């Protein structure tokens, strides 16, 4: 009987050590994943910062916002084309900016809604 208790205790200790080793492995992987994600985000920020070079010959413009009421038949694309200017990277990033300003996830807008639209003065 004493041998059975000892064998059972040894088995429990082994299982506990295996669980601890698994937890250590998971923690290590989580730390490595977090470090990799931080490095990727840092590199993306550095690359994005390099795109913000301004030509010295251009006159500085100021970003403004206006409210546009959506009419029947309007779409984000149509509103973006009417208000787009060269200061924005392209029409797609401008549409993304309009969606961000108005907390729109999809591309559906409804007549009568008011949208905040960025533009350069």
pLDDT value of residue 49: 64
**pLDDT for residue 56 is more than 70:** no
* Fold of domain 63-120: Membrane-bound Lytic Murein Transglycosylase D; Chain A (3.10.350)
- pLDDT tens for each residue of 71-97: 999 999 999 999 888 888 899 999 999
More confident residue, 90 or 51: 90
User: Quick one: pLDDT band at residue 58, thresholds 50, 70, 90?
Assistant: low
Domain ranges of the chain: 1-53, 63-120
Contact between 79 and 64 under an 8 Å Cβ cutoff? The reply is no
- pLDDT tens for each residue of 94-119: 999 999 999 999 888 999 999 999 98
- pLDDT tens for each residue of 12-24: 888 999 999 999 9
**pLDDT for residue 11 is more than 90:** no
String of DSSP letters for 70-99: PPTT--HHHHHHHH--TTSS-HHHHHHHHH
- How far apart CA 18 and CA 15 sit, in angstroms, is 5
**pLDDT for residue 4 is more than 70:** no
**pLDDT for residue 53 is more than 70:** no
**pLDDT for residue 64 is more than 70:** yes
């Amino acid at each position: 009987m004493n041998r059975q208790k000892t064998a059972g205790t040894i088995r429990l200790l082994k299982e506990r050590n295996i669980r601890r080793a698994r937890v250590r492995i998971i923690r290590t992987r989580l730390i490595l994943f977090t470090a990799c994600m931080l490095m990727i985000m840092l590199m993306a920020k550095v690359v994005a910062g390099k795109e913000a070079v301004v030509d010295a010959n251009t006159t500085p413009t100021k970003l403004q916002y206006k409210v546009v009421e959506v009419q029947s038949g309007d779409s984000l694309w149509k509103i973006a084309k009417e208000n787009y200017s060269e200061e924005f990277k392209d029409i797609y990033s401008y549409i993304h900016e309009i969606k961000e300003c108005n907390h729109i996830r999809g591309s559906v807008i409804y007549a009568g809604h008011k949208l905040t639209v960025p533009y350069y003065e």
